[in-house]
Amino acid sequence: MKRMTRHLSLWMLLATTLLAWQTAVARELPDFTELVDQAAPGVVNISTSRMVERSASPFHDFGGQEIPEIFRHFFGDRFGDRFPMPPGGGPGRSEERQSLGSGFIIDEAGYIMTNAHVVEGADEILVRLNDRRELQAELVGADAKTDVALLKVDADGLPTLTLGDSDDLRVGEWVAAIGSPFGFDHSVTAGIVSAIDRTLPRDAYVPFIQTDVAINPGNSGGPLFNLDGEVVGINSQIFTRSGGFMGLSFAIPINVALDVADQLRDDGRVSRGWLGVMIQPVSRDLAESFGMDNPEGALIADLDPEGPAAQGGLQAGDVILEVNGEAVESSSTLPRLIGRVSPGSEVELTLLRDGKRREETVTVGDWPDSQGAAADGRGENPAPARLGIAVGPLEEAERRELGIEGGVRVGEVDPRGAAAQAGIRAGDILVSIDHRAVEGPDQLAELVAELPEDRAIPVRLYRDGRSLFVALRLSRG
DSSP one-letter string for 275-311: --EEEEE--HHHHHHTT-SS--SEEEEEE-TTSHHHH
Q: Is 117 a catalytic residue?
A: yes
Which one is catalytic: 117, 166, 289, 332?
117
Q: What angle do CA 309, 315, 318 make, to 5 degrees?
A: 105
Q: What angle do CA 278, 280, 283 make, to 5 degrees?
A: 160
| C-alpha dist (Å) from residue 256 to 111, 155, 229, 261 | 17, 26, 19, 9
**Residue 220 annotated in ligand binding:** yes
Q: End-to-end CA distance of the chain, in Å?
A: 86
Q: Coil, strand, or helix at residue 204?
A: strand
C-alpha 409/C-alpha 301 separation (Å) is: 18
In 3D space, the residue among 249, 231, 218, 251 whose CA is nearest the CA of residue 105 turns out to be 231
- Residues forming beta bridges with residue 233, ordered by sequence position: 224, 253
| C-alpha dist (Å) from residue 333 to 168, 206, 248, 337 | 19, 10, 21, 6
Which one is catalytic: 57, 73, 102, 147?
147
How do the residues of the chain divide into helix, strand and coil, expressed in percent and rounded to 5? 25, 35, 40
Q: How many CA atoms lie within 13 A of 11 on its CB side?
A: 6
DSSP one-letter string for 352-410: EETTEEEEEEEE-EEPPS-----------SB--TTTTEEEEEPPHHHHHHHT-S--EEE
**Residue 37 annotated in ligand binding:** no
Q: Is 57 a catalytic residue?
A: no
**Residue 117 annotated in ligand binding:** yes
Q: Is 220 a catalytic residue?
A: yes
C-alpha 45/C-alpha 114 separation (Å) is: 10
Which one is catalytic: 220, 249, 332, 432?
220
Active-site positions? 117, 147, 220
The binding site for substrate consists of 117, 147, 218-220
The binding site consists of 117, 147, 218-220
